[in-house]
Amino acid sequence: MSDEQPPAALTIAGSDSGGAAGLEADLRTFLTCGVHGLVAVTAVTVQNTLGVHDRSDVPARVVAGQIEAVAADMGLQAAKTGMLASAEIIRAVARACEDAGIGGENGVPFVVDPVAASMHGTPLFDDAGLTALRDDLLPRATAVTPNLDEVRLLTGIEVTRRERMRDAAVALHELGPRHVLVKGGHLADDPECVDLLYDGTTFTELRGPRLDTPHTHGAGDAMASAFTAGLARGMPVAEAARLGKWYVGNAVRHSYPMGAKVGPVSAFWRIAEENRS
């Protein structure tokens, strides 16, 4: 046995029965980044590569209870959100995080991944959820990690060229998060995959090649959870964001087909690379 506790991170997220995205992706990423994963489940989706066929939301009281229970006893060094399902759950999460010292001015680092829709385009919260996310949760975030669809929903800004990402980052920063990471992966005409990090003063580009694979399910979750794992390990925000970018690039490079449509990004790329050397 070890006398030393590893760093721990909490994911507040929904379950994907297909095992590609959601809390399943987050826990795998935490594991492969050397971080113990704690969980507050928000919803159970009935899902495969053909779509989200059904779902059951966890009562807001139980979501908040999970956050309170693990924070009170187990200790955590970072937290993230994924699918939050409803305005009621978002407000309960914001309150529980405030009470548990997650996010805000002096709390543990808190990554809000504003997951708005599933891979298949099924909304994962409604308009009231968007308002609650903007008003209650973003002001608590250490970093928010939207893709360009989520940028449009949160700010109304339509980013069609890389240069516009700066305006989007500034508009998002005004909503209260300390850092904004705008992900440029959806700019299909861009030969590179460039994400933009903004801390209210400085813009930092995180560059990566555009990889040619249809199998990208869970990429956003892998990015946000590797970023969170870096924060749990004590990295400064920019270094943790670079870890997220590096991790997801490798996970996409090792993605595989599974099911009839979009397959998952790989969580075993680190193991595969170790076995090769």
Q: Which is nearer to ligand PXL, 119 or 232 (CB)?
A: 119
Q: Taking CB under 6 A as the criterion, which residues in 66-95 touch ligand PXL? A: 82-83
Q: Which is nearer to ligand PXL, 119 or 197 (CB)?
A: 119
Q: Taking CB under 6 A as the criterion, which residues in 101-160 touch ligand PXL? A: 115, 118-119
- The closest residue (CB) to ligand PXL is 22
Task: Kindly indicate which of the ranges 2-10, 15-23, 155-163, 194-202 contains the residues binding ligand PXL, using the contact rule CB under 6 A.
Answer: 15-23
According to DSSP, the residues that pair with 12 across neighbouring strands are 40, 81
Q: Which is nearer to ligand PXL, 119 or 168 (CB)?
A: 119
Which tokens hold the place of 201? 């003063």
Cβ-proximal residues to 187 (8 Å cutoff; 6+ apart), any chain: 148, 159, 160, 161, 162, 194
Per-position DSSP letters for 11-79, written without gaps between them = EEEEEETTSSSHHHHHHHHHHHTT-EEEEEEEEEEEEETTEEEEEEEPPHHHHHHHHHHHHHHT--SEE
Of 195, 198, 237, 202, nearest to 220 by C-alpha is 195
Query: Could you say whether residue 48 binds ligand PXL (CB under 6 A)?
Result: no
- Least separation in angstroms between residue 139's CB and ligand PXL is 22
Query: Could you say whether residue 41 binds ligand PXL (CB under 6 A)?
Result: no
Query: Could you say whether residue 14 binds ligand PXL (CB under 6 A)?
Result: yes
> x-or-dash pattern for ligand PXL, window 186-225, by CB under 6 A?
--------------------------------x-xx----
Please tell me the distance from the alpha carbon of residue 56 to that of residue 75, in angstroms, as a whole number.
Answer: 29
Contact (CB, 8 A) for 129 and 96: no
Query: Could you say whether residue 185 binds ligand PXL (CB under 6 A)?
Result: no
Task: Kindly indicate which of the ranges 9-17, 95-103, 149-157, 244-252 contains the residues binding ligand PXL, using the contact rule CB under 6 A.
Answer: 9-17
Burial level of 220, CB count in 10 A (0-12/13-18/19+)?
A: buried
* Site size with ligand PXL, rule: CB under 6 A: 15
| Length of the chain, in residues | 277
Which tokens hold the place of 157? 């800004």
Query: Could you say whether residue 251 binds ligand PXL (CB under 6 A)?
Result: no
Contact (CB, 8 A) for 24 and 264: no
Query: Could you say whether residue 22 binds ligand PXL (CB under 6 A)?
Result: yes
Q: Which is nearer to ligand PXL, 6 or 121 (CB)?
A: 121
Query: Could you say whether residue 16 binds ligand PXL (CB under 6 A)?
Result: yes
Query: Could you say whether residue 40 binds ligand PXL (CB under 6 A)?
Result: no
- Name the residues that contact ligand PXL, by CB under 6 A: 13-14, 16, 21-22, 45, 47, 82-83, 115, 118-119, 218, 220-221
